[in-house]
Amino acid sequence: MGCEPLIQDIDTFIDRLREQHSDISFAVNLNSGATPLQNLGLLPTLCGWFDIPCFPNSSDVLMIGERKDVAKNLASNLFQTPSEIDFTSDEEWPILAKPIDMGNSRGVNLLSSADQLNALLKKIDPQSMMFEQFIPGTDVTIPVYWNSIQSRYVVASAVLYEPVNNDVKWIYTHDLKLDPTIRIERKIVPIDKTTQDAIIKYATKIQIQSLARIDFRYRSDLIHKTPKMLHFDDLYFIELNTLPTLRKGVNFLEVIEDHILAVNWDDAQYFKKNIDPSIRALSFLLFHSAISFEAHTQRRLRPDKKIAG
C-alpha cells in the first residue's frame, strides 16, 4: 500500500499530531471494552479533529455502542428489547442489573430477590445502572460489517453461547468468562432474513463505518437442543459493540472467516488462496475498511503517509 505502519501509545500519537499531523492517513483503535467508556473515544475523537479515518468506527458511533441505554433506545423500534424495571409494581424475579457504560460484562448482576437488589443499591449509584426484565435462554452475538466492494452491510451467522449445564437462568458474566472451570459451548448458527434485515437497518441508522457486533438474548426454555436457525421473534436486543475484540481464536473473527469461505466475491477468493487462515478474516476486514474510509474521505494513500495503531 506504500505506507509505513506505526504502533504508538496515545501520548506519542498526540505529540505526532501536534508536530506534523498531516503525515497520518489512517488509524487503528487498539483500545478495548473492559474499561469505562471515557477512555474508548479518545483516539477516534482526536482523529475526527484532524480528519483522519479511524478503524473500526468514529467516536460518535463508538459512544452509541458503549452507552447501553442509548444503543437500546435506538434499537427499540427494530428489535424486541427486555422491558425496563421501574420498581413501581411487584416485579417478577430474577431481574438483570447492569452498568450503562461498562464493557466485557463487568458489573452485570442477576438479582433473584428484593434483598439482593437492596444490597446492590447500597454499593452503586442507581443512575449508573440499567434494570431490565430477565430473558431465560442463552446469549447470542451477531457480526455485521461493511463490504466496500458491494457498498452494503453484510450480516454473518450468529455465535450461540450454551452453558454445558443447560441452565436457562444464567448470564455470561465477566467472572464466568475468566473462570477456566466454567464450560461454555460456542456454536455457529444461521439467522433468518428478518433478523438480517433488521440488523442492516440498525447499522445504517447509526452509521457503522466498518464493523460491529450486536448481542442478543435467545429466548428458550430448553438449551440442550441447538436450534437449526435463529428466528427474529426469539431474539431480544441486549447491546451493541462497536469496538469488538479482534484476535486469533475470537469467535467474531471465526464467524467472519466462515462467512468468507462461503461466498464467491473476487476479493474473498483472493484471501482464501493467498492469506494464512489465522489472519485471513482480520485482513479481509481491514481491507474493506481502508477502501471504505478512502472512498469516504476522497483521499489517496501516498508513500509519505503512515498508518497509526
> Between 294 and 273, where is the model more confident?
273
- Phi, psi angle pair for 194, to nearest 5°: -60, -45
Split at pLDDT 50, 70, 90, the class of 69 is: very high
Query: Are 212 and 249 contained in the same domain?
Result: yes
Q: Which residues contact 52 (CB under 8 A, 6 or more apart)?
A: 21, 24, 25, 26, 27, 46
- Whether residue 227 is predicted with pLDDT greater than 60 in this model: the reply is yes
Query: Are 145 and 283 contained in the same domain?
Result: yes
- Looking at residue 301, what is its pLDDT? 41
Domain housing 28: 4-81+138-298
CA gap 35, 193 in Å, rounded = 34
In a domain, 225, yes or no: yes
In a domain, 304, yes or no: no
- Whether residue 296 is predicted with pLDDT greater than 80 in this model: the reply is no
Query: Are 62 and 120 contained in the same domain?
Result: no
In a domain, 180, yes or no: yes
What is the Cα 215 distance to its own chain's centre? Answer: 7
Task: Pick the range with the lowest mean pLDDT from 93-97, 135-139, 151-155, 167-171.
Answer: 167-171
Split at pLDDT 50, 70, 90, the class of 299 is: very low
> Between 46 and 303, where is the model more confident?
46
CA gap 217, 301 in Å, rounded = 42
Answer whether the bond into residue 136 is a cis peptide, omega within 30°: no
> Between 90 and 216, where is the model more confident?
216
Average pLDDT score, the chain: 78
- Whether residue 158 is predicted with pLDDT greater than 70 in this model: the reply is yes
In a domain, 87, yes or no: no
Query: Are 42 and 114 contained in the same domain?
Result: no
CA gap 251, 172 in Å, rounded = 15
Radius of gyration of the chain from its Cα atoms, rounded to whole angstroms: 20
Query: Are 109 and 249 contained in the same domain?
Result: no
In a domain, 305, yes or no: no
CA angle 134–137–139, rounded 5-degree value: 90
> Between 100 and 295, where is the model more confident?
100
Angstrom CA distances, 266 to 4, 105, 151, 255, 261, stand at 27, 38, 14, 19, 12
In a domain, 123, yes or no: yes
Query: Are 206 and 286 contained in the same domain?
Result: yes
SS (H, E, C) 87-139: CCCCCCCCEEEEECCCCCCCCCEEECCHHHHHHHHCCCCHHHEEEEECCCEEE
For 207-220, how does the pLDDT look when each residue is reduced to its tens digit (9 = 90+)?
998 889 999 999 88
- Whether residue 184 is predicted with pLDDT greater than 60 in this model: the reply is yes
Burial 214-244 (b: 16+ CB within 10 A, else e): bbbbbbbeebeeebeebebebbbbbbbbbbb
Query: Are 35 and 104 contained in the same domain?
Result: no
> Between 155 and 9, where is the model more confident?
155
Query: Are 289 and 145 contained in the same domain?
Result: yes
Query: Are 255 and 272 contained in the same domain?
Result: yes
Q: Are 33 and 40 contacting, i.e. CB atoms less than 8 angstroms apart? A: yes
CA dihedral 148, 153, 154, 160 (to 10 degrees): 130
Most confident listed range (34-38, 162-166, 211-215, 241-245): 211-215
- Whether residue 143 is predicted with pLDDT greater than 70 in this model: the reply is yes
Predicted model pTM: 0.82
Looking up residue 275, the CATH number of its domain turns out to be: 3.30.470.20
In a domain, 73, yes or no: yes
> Between 196 and 255, where is the model more confident?
196
Dihedral sign computed on CA atoms, order 9, 11, 17, 19: negative
Most confident listed range (71-75, 128-132, 217-221): 71-75
Query: Are 216 and 244 contained in the same domain?
Result: yes
Residue type, 16: R
Percent of the chain with pLDDT over 70: 71
Split at pLDDT 50, 70, 90, the class of 33 is: very low
Q: Mean pLDDT across the stretch 139-154?
A: 86
CA angle 223–224–230, rounded 5-degree value: 50
- Whether residue 72 is predicted with pLDDT greater than 90 in this model: the reply is yes
Q: What's the total number of domains in the chain?
A: 2
In a domain, 90, yes or no: no
